[in-house]
């Protein structure tokens, strides 16, 4: 028996089964989420998914069949938006069992709303060049960075996020994929107003945002592979159509809530038909303006509509492949390129037909506003969802089999490709023109006396202007009566870089020009160390009393008002009441003078065994302090 005949028989059986179920289960008044709970529980919401995860384990084509049967009785289908189309399929394929159990069901019912946080101001087409960072902090990840072009971020509950977790490996290998809770301090969403006056997108600023460690999707460093799954599904998300609610019982509560959901979702995309070019309007508009018989206009319209029809056939082939269960592949790039070309050609024809009047939103014809919006919107078609240049690379690599485009950074650690190069403390100490600066705890510091408080403030302004011009910003403080303190580090690499060195020389030059004098022996840093045999037992107390953050096991004040407190393991606790010692880090050429001064003031030397890394001193009561430098430390 032919396979298509077998499939037809199977399809008939599926239709019969789902019709029977719908006859008993469909309730137009139960409410949208409650109905979807019922749909998901029965496995008819996503019939092609595994039975263990709310499906029926059926072929992919059954998704289409069930959707048709739902529409036939006026029943509502699955949720619209990034949750159902992007997040859920990605979690199904790559998420842990715990993540799937926690997030799939509310995503399928629409109880959770999602957005996608991928693109960045400096990483759109080259998404792997992203610089948003996620740093492990106990049982959480701390995220800092900026995302852009984020649809629905303003009302999302959760986000799928890619962030850099390793700078020491090539860029694709250092990315991890997370689920980020959006409703938290540290997540700021701002709308972006476009040149067509719509505001469909947002930018999202992440400042010490926190993600539970369990929300890692896939393995650490495997985020690029996981993200590619999302990007494959993004093509179908971009072509999502508004659902129809024209069957029986279409006025019940369930359908009313679904209509509201659809209106809210598609309000974001109200200008997308104009972005696509509105090729469907060119004939009508040519007739309206009396240009239907103009030979050049007719020729351009014919050229456009022929290309549109050919593109539709290509899209149909891709849809047929997906209906057979094939994974979306590079053929999607051909469709994306065709859509960009349709948009460009449509805008050109609209401009030809409308002339200068095409620039008027409030022209005499009812269609003038549409044409004006087309002309300023079609440029987005060749950018959104992957630029035309990226799509051509995919076609060349995966369809035509051409050699890959040369990439100098393919095997290079991503941190080495950034404009910042790591500078070690010994290397810094050997550099010229840096006499004002001293290395302390991963950064460099200087202190200047400007002669008066106004002069100190003026120097701060000059430094701030130079930092803004360099797009690299130091820590600045003014201290009465005339002191300016400057600290510089490269946060993105977690230490000192050549960018810091350049800025330090600029700051020294500005200080000299202002007549300020340097005091290189004055920079210092204080940390508190607590000896304990169980840091986990006492750390919560210190976090609470200091209102601090747990950073790699230490207690850190996010505003840096208090010194960092860290915990030193000891197997034998001291019998004295006090188990705290202080770490005072000083410039390397100040350490021995500081030790001598402390001993002269009544202190005693506990040990200099670890000098020049640190000297252990104690006061008369036995309270200890380590005078520390960067020297003679193992990496």
DSSP letter assigned to residue 378? G
Where residue 2 falls among pLDDT bands split at 50, 70, 90? very low
pLDDT tens across 440-456, in order? 988 999 999 999 999 99
The mean pLDDT value for 539-557 works out to 81
The mean pLDDT value for 493-500 works out to 81
Residue 628 has pLDDT above 80, yes or no: yes
234 catalytic? Reply is yes
Beta bridge partners of 188: 205
Q: Please, what are the domains in the chain?
A: 1-80+240-270 (no CATH), 107-229 (2.40.110.10), 271-398 (1.20.140.10), 419-518 (3.30.1360.20), 525-628 (3.10.180.10)
With a CB cutoff of 8 Å and minimum separation 6, the contacts of 432 are none
Q: Report percent pLDDT > 90 for the chain.
A: 47
Where residue 548 falls among pLDDT bands split at 50, 70, 90? confident
- The pLDDT assigned to 86 comes to 94
Residue 107 has pLDDT above 60, yes or no: yes
Spell out a b/e string for 581-604, using b for 16 or more CB atoms within 10 Å of the CB, else e: bebbbbbbebbeebbeebeeeebe
245-254, 283-292, 366-375, 460-469: range with lowest mean pLDDT: 245-254
Residue 44 has pLDDT above 70, yes or no: yes
SS3 81: coil
Residue 27 has pLDDT above 60, yes or no: yes
Residue 157 has pLDDT above 70, yes or no: yes
133-147, 398-412, 458-472: range with lowest mean pLDDT: 398-412
pLDDT tens across 524-535, in order? 988 888 888 888
Cβ distance 197 to 172 under 8 Å? no
pLDDT tens across 610-625, in order? 999 999 998 776 778 8
The mean pLDDT of the chain is 87
* Between residues 353 and 571, the one the model is more confident about: 353
Cβ distance 347 to 339 under 8 Å? no
The mean pLDDT value for 132-159 works out to 91
How remote is the C-alpha of 473 from its chain's centroid? Answer: 22
- The pLDDT assigned to 15 comes to 92
Beta bridge partners of 567: 530
Residue 1 has pLDDT above 60, yes or no: no
The mean pLDDT value for 497-506 works out to 91
Residue 304 has pLDDT above 90, yes or no: yes
- pTM comes to 0.64
* Between residues 401 and 211, the one the model is more confident about: 211
- The pLDDT assigned to 6 comes to 47
Q: Which of 37, 234, 261, 527 is catalytic?
A: 234
- Quote the CA–CA distance of 15 and 47 in Å, as a whole number: 12
- The pLDDT assigned to 408 comes to 60
pLDDT tens across 549-603, in order? 888 788 888 877 778 988 888 777 666 656 678 888 889 999 999 899 889 888 8
- The pLDDT assigned to 241 comes to 66
With a CB cutoff of 8 Å and minimum separation 6, the contacts of 84 are 78, 107, 108, 110
Residue 248 has pLDDT above 60, yes or no: no
């Amino acid at each position: 028996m032919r396979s298509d005949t077998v499939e037809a028989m199977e399809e008939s059986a599926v239709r019969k089964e789902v019709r029977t179920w719908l006859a008993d289960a469909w309730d137009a008044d139960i409410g949208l989420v409650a109905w979807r709970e019922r749909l998901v529980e029965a496995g008819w919401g996503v019939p092609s998914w595994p039975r263990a995860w709310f499906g029926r384990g059926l072929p992919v084509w059954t998704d289409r069949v069930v959707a048709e049967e739902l529409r036939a009785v006026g029943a509502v289908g699955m949720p619209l938006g990034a949750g159902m189309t992007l997040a859920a399929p990605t979690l199904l394929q790559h998420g842990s069992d715990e993540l799937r159990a926690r997030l799939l069901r509310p995503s399928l019912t629409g109880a959770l709303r999602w957005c996608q946080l991928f693109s960045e101001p400096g990483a759109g087409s080259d998404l792997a060049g992203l610089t948003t960072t996620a740093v492990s902090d106990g049982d959480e990840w701390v995220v800092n960075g900026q995302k852009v072009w984020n649809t629905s971020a303003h009302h999302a509950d959760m986000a799928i996020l890619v962030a850099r977790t390793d700078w020491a490996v090539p860029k694709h290998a250092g990315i991890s994929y997370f689920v980020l809770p959006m409703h938290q301090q540290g997540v700021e969403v701002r709308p972006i107003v476009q040149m067509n006056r719509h505001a469909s997108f947002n930018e999202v600023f992440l400042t010490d945002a926190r993600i539970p460690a369990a929300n890692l999707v896939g393995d650490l460093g495997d985020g690029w592979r996981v993200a590619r799954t999302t990007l494959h599904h993004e093509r179908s998300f971009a072509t999502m159509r508004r659902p129809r609610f024209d069957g029986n019982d279409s006025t019940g509560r369930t359908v009313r809530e679904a209509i509201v959901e659809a209106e809210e979702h598609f309000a974001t995309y109200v200008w997308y038909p104009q972005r696509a070019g509105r090729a469907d309007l060119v004939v009508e508009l040519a007739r309206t303006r009396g240009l239907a018989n103009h030979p050049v206009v007719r020729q351009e319209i014919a050229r456009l509509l022929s290309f549109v029809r050919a593109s539709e056939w290509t899209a149909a082939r891709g849809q047929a492949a997906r209906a057979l269960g094939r994974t979306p592949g590079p053929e999607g790039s051909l469709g994306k390129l065709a859509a960009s070309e349709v948009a460009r050609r449509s805008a050109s024809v609209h401009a030809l037909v409308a002339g200068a009047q095409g620039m008027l939103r409030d022209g005499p014809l009812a269609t003038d506003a549409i044409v004006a919006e087309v002309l300023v919107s079609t440029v987005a078609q060749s950018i959104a969802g992957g630029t035309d240049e990226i799509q051509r690379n995919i076609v060349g690599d995966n369809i035509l089999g051409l050699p890959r485009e040369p990439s100098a950074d393919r095997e290079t650690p991503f941190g080495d490709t950034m404009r910042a190069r790591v500078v070690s403390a010994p290397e810094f100490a050997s550099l010229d023109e840096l006499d004002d600066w001293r290395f302390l705890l991963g950064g460099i510091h200087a202190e200047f006396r400007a002669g008066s408080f106004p002069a100190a403030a003026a120097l701060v302004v000059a430094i701030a202007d130079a930092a803004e011009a360099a797009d690299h910003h130091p820590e600045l403080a003014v201290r009465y009566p005339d002191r300016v303190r400057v600290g510089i580090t490269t946060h993105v690499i977690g230490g000192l870089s050549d960018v810091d060195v350049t800025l330090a020389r600029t700051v020294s030059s500005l200080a000299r020009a202002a007549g300020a004098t340097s005091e290189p022996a004055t920079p210092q840093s204080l940390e508190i160390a607590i000896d304990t045999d169980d840091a986990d037992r006492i750390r919560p107390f210190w976090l609470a009393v200091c209102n601090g953050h747990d950073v790699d096991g230490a207690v850190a004040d996010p505003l840096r008002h208090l010194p960092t407190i860290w915990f030193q393991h000891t197997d034998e606790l001291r019998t004295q009441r006090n188990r705290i010692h202080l770490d005072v880090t000083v410039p390397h050429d100040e350490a021995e003078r500081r030790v001598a001064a402390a001993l002269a003031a009544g202190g005693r030397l506990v040990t200099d065994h670890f000098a020049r890394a640190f000297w252990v001193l104690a006061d008369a009561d036995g309270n200890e302090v380590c005078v520390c430098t960067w020297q003679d430390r193992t990496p």
